[in-house]
Amino acid sequence: MNTMMKTVSLSFLCAAFAFLSVDVLAADAAAEVAAIHAVDQNWLKAYNGGDADAVAGLYDEKAILLPPGAPAPHGRAAIRAFFASDITASKKAGVTFHLGPNPDGSANGDMGWASGIYTVTDASGKVVDSGKYLSVSKKEDGKWLYVRDTWNSDVAAPAEAPAAQKK
């Protein structure tokens, strides 16, 4: 075989391997995103089930929670305390959280993210809140853990009463 034929053959082989590896990498990324979304479903089940310990267990030891209208708890213990209180308030109010269909997400190596929409319903099934969420996760020892987690409502906050005017 002459040098030109060897070069063309080698180039073809390299291109074929590159093409095939893209499919393998895409399949791996899709599996990782599915695993991240499974964590979201575990969060939902634990939250609605009243299990603050299980919810907190889905967060990295150094995670930061970014809840709306509240200070940001830093670390798993503070996140657990936040959710213990929040879950109690939700149970008392009789509300349940739901995640919307078709969440988005991506993963690259040991980092990934997920985003989507949520609704909150009361005991009668009426939607009392809706909004969006975004989480950033890292894979540690084969397990995806949240490192940042935030959400916010699409429902407008109640307007403040106008300040009383001095006479």
Q: What is the CATH number of the domain that holds 102?
A: 3.10.450.50
3-state DSSP helix/strand/coil % of the chain, to nearest 5: 40, 30, 25
164, part of any domain = no
Q: What are phi and psi of 29, to 5 degrees?
A: -65, -40
Q: What angle do CA 37, 59, 108 make, to 5 degrees?
A: 50
Tell me which residue range forms the domain holding 109: 14-153
| Tens of each residue's pLDDT in the chain, 167 residues | 566 555 545 555 455 555 544 444 455 889 999 999 999 999 999 999 999 999 999 999 999 999 999 999 999 999 999 999 999 999 999 999 999 999 999 999 999 999 999 999 999 999 999 999 999 999 999 999 999 999 999 988 777 766 666 55
Does residue 90 sit within a domain? Answer: yes
Residue 32 covered by a domain: yes
**Max alpha carbon distance in the chain (Å)?**
101
Q: Is residue 67 included in any domain, yes or no?
A: yes
pTM of the model: 0.79
Q: In the chain, how many domains are there?
A: 1
User: Per the domain annotation, does 110 fall within a domain?
Assistant: yes
Residue 56 located in a structural domain:
yes
Per the CB < 8 A criterion, the answer to whether 135 and 129 are in contact is no
Going by C-alpha positions, the residue among 55, 25, 38, 22 that lies closest to residue 105 is 38
Residue 166 falls inside a structural domain: no
Asked if residue 34 belongs to a domain, the reply is: yes
